[in-house]
Amino acid sequence: MAIKHWPEHDRPREKLVKLGPEALSDSELLALFIGSGCNGLDAVQSARRLLENHGPLRRLMDMDASRLRKLPALGPARACKLVAALELASRHLLADLERGDSICDPGSAGRYFKLRLRARPQEVFAALFMDTRNRTLAYEELFTGTIDTATVYPREVVRRALLHNAAAVIVSHNHPSGRAEPSASDREITSQLFEALGLVGVRLVDHVVVGDGPPVSMAERGWLKRDPFART
């Protein structure tokens, strides 16, 4: 049965308008992009099959347009629309933290870095430079490594902090393997950065590790000084 013949409360578009996007399942949201199904399936059934064969949703959404366009029920036009929608969503969420608002808790920092780094195939070490009120000055990706390591040079982090006249820094790196738990070497470089930045009067506010699931905040774990998000 075509979706237009479904009861109105079951149709994805009408359901979204009435209840909001959070009420829709992954397959229903995806079906809104697909528009129409293929091979005798409606859009929702096609979306479910996509998720079954190429999911879960995170894995499917991490594909680039060149891979998405080859999947059944998508093709070039729909693949490009889907990638563009994801990029718009990311830019919208990032804009809240890039307009000069203060980052006042580990959760905000974790969300920011997860959007930036989660889908990267190599380990990337990045820094968010902030003023005395924890307002963002600049974001930089400082070191890029392999699938499981990236060499970090504290001296370069200090140099970039001074260049931006930063009073505080939050650093982050991703674990492409998916497990966000910090390693012993992650904790060691955090200690080195804390000491090096402290010598020039810059606070290391947090080191966030990004993987699948919630990011891990070393500040929240108590591995940095007490109340690192307090403004000077």
Residue 42 inside a domain? The answer is yes
Q: What is the mean pLDDT of the chain?
A: 84
State the first-to-last Cα distance of the chain, in angstroms, to the nearest integer: 63
pTM of structure: 0.67
**Radius of gyration for the chain, computed over Cα atoms and rounded to the nearest angstrom:** 21
Q: Which domain holds residue 80?
A: 3-93
- What pLDDT band is residue 99 in, cutting at 50, 70 and 90? low
Q: How many domains does the chain have?
A: 2
> Beta strand 136-144 with 124-130: parallel, antiparallel or unpaired?
antiparallel
Pair (13, 105) in one structural domain? no
Same domain flag for 50 and 143: no
Same-domain status, 19 and 44: yes
Q: Which of these three, 93, 113, 130, is where a domain ends?
A: 93
Which of 63, 93, 123 is the endpoint of a domain? 93
Distance of alpha carbon 38 from alpha carbon 72, whole angstroms = 8
Q: Assess whether 78 and 52 both reside in one domain.
A: yes
CATH code for the domain of 191: 3.40.140.10
pLDDT (average), residues 57-61? 75
Residues 28 and 8 in one domain: yes
Residue 230, domain member (yes or no)? no
Kindly state whether residue 229 falls inside one of the protein's structural domains: no
Reported as a single tens digit per residue, the pLDDT across 201-229 is 999 999 999 998 889 999 999 988 655 55
Does residue 185 sit within a domain? yes
List, for residues 144-202, the tens digit of each pLDDT value.
998 888 899 999 999 999 999 999 999 999 999 888 999 999 999 999 999 999 999 99
